[in-house]
Amino acid sequence: MHIYGLIIGISLLIGINYFLSKNVIPKNHQNFFIFGLVIFSIIGARLYHVIDQWPYYSQHLLSIPATWNGGLGIYGGLLAGIIFIFFYSLLTKTSILKILDAITPILPLCQSIGRLGNFVNQEIPLWYIEAALNLILFFVIKLSPKNPTAKYFIGYGLIRFIFEFFRSDTWVISQIKIAQLISIIFIFTGFYLLINNYNSSKINNTSIDSDKN
């Protein structure tokens, strides 16, 4: 197995095991949920990279599926994963934030491990800086677990926004770095959740109170 794929696989297994330990979805849904989330995230991450590098891939169409050679855009994976979770939550009438709160605390650790793949493929010269910052974010959320989704959105949004100033290999449209634009959306979303104290425990308590009435 290619080392890059092995590293990504390890980070996925860590994230999956953590999420399943939280028991936020029924056991009979777990296989479907994990399979769908992983597939959506990988496809989203790959599409983000392919669109970014379309001048190359338009001439090398057979290279598009070759994820083992590198080329996964984390924001593409995150957005596609959130879309899958959104539709799952609609179909099952489960709080999307409850699901996200069971995933986001482990994401920075998985992303930190995943950045080792950039080292293996000799991508992103400053990969170790983002890996270290993601690791710090992981411990910040672990030590202060309330509102993990909000803290992840803010923390990773800030990390990526700043990190993009030092990269010249990312998606740009009309002089605007797409990753920085998404980072701003993440940051504002995170602050919105914090300001409104919008967390899964609050949702659950409200639901319980409504049932009592």
Q: What are the structural domain ranges in the chain?
A: 3-212
Look-up of token digits 């994976």: 77
Which has more confidence, 52 or 186?
A: 186
Q: The tokens of 185 are what? A: 């959306």
206 — pLDDT class (breaks 50, 70, 90): very low
Percentage above 90 pLDDT, the chain:
65
Burial 74-90 (b: 16+ CB within 10 A, else e): bbbbbbbbbebbeebbe
* Per-residue DSSP letter, 164: G
Residues 115-129 have a mean pLDDT of 75
Instruction: Please write the tens of the pLDDT for every residue from 142-187.
Output: 999 999 999 999 999 999 999 999 888 788 988 899 999 999 999 9
Which has more confidence, 167 or 92?
A: 92
Among 58-62, 108-112, 121-125, name the one with the lowest average pLDDT.
Answer: 121-125
The alpha helices in 22-126, defined as continuous H runs, are 27-52, 54-57, 74-92, 96-103, 107-114, 116-120
The model's pTM is 0.87
